[in-house]
Amino acid sequence: MNKGKAFIFSAPSGSGKTTIVRHLLDNFSYLGFSISATTRSPRTGEKDGEHYHFLSVDDFTQKIEAKAFIEWEQVYEGLYYGTLISEVEKLWSEGKHVLFDVDVVGGLNLKKYFGDRGLAVFVKVPDTTELEKRLRERKTESEENIKKRLERFEYELGFEDQFDVTLINDKLGETVKEAESMVLNFINK
């Protein structure tokens, strides 16, 4: 797999990476989204094959054994996420650069895999207070999940310096403009 470039957006949950990725996809037709696989249940409005490939734990582990993933991770007990090789091959066959929206560990695994063809962007909020506010505004998380995500935030911040660049998502309008510049500069590099 060596046809295009890869843009890897990673962040602690609630940092806004999905909003940034959607903006880029809406504004650059030559970018294609790599749909991740997961064992979590769909949230309201999410569709299989559009937002994620929703798999059972058994199906996911069978794909691990079949080496169908570029990378995968068990984020919590019984909760897996991964990047299917078939997703990247499909997008590159369409002449697109691949855009990823993945957790921090997945992002680092993708960065290692793609090397110089990939730009790894760490997206973060200014502080934990802002992150907690965003997680609560989603209204999709239980108190237990919010607590887990806040604890994981501290852990994931420890990986920030391993990414190519950090994008602080404080003011969304400015953040997406900066993301656009990063993409254009990397494509033209």
Question: Along the 189 residues of the chain, how does pLDDT read in single tens digits?
Answer: 447 899 999 998 778 899 999 999 999 999 999 999 999 999 899 999 999 999 999 999 999 999 999 999 898 889 999 999 999 999 999 999 999 998 888 899 999 999 999 999 999 987 778 777 777 887 777 888 888 877 878 888 899 999 999 999 989 899 999 999 999 999 998
What is the C-alpha separation between 123 and 146, in angstroms, rounded? Answer: 19
Which pLDDT score, from 0 to 100, does residue 182 have?
96
| Assigned token pair, 117 | 């063809």
| Assigned token pair, 5 | 């470039």
Model's pTM, two decimal places?
0.85
What is the C-alpha separation between 56 and 122, in angstroms, rounded? Answer: 29
Bridge-based pairing state of the strands 37-38 and 31-33: unpaired
- Asked if 6 and 100 count as a contact pair (C-beta separation under 8 A), the reply is yes
Helix (H) or strand (E) holding 167: strand 165-168
- Asked if 37 and 73 count as a contact pair (C-beta separation under 8 A), the reply is no
What is the C-alpha separation between 64 and 44, in angstroms, rounded? Answer: 27
Which pLDDT score, from 0 to 100, does residue 1 have?
45
Per-residue pLDDT reduced to its tens digit, 76-95: 889 999 999 999 999 999 99
Q: DSSP alpha helices (H): ranges in 83-171?
A: 85-93, 104-114, 128-138, 143-157
What is the C-alpha separation between 38 and 79, in angstroms, rounded? Answer: 7
For the chain, domains (ranges, CATH) are 6-187 (3.40.50.300)
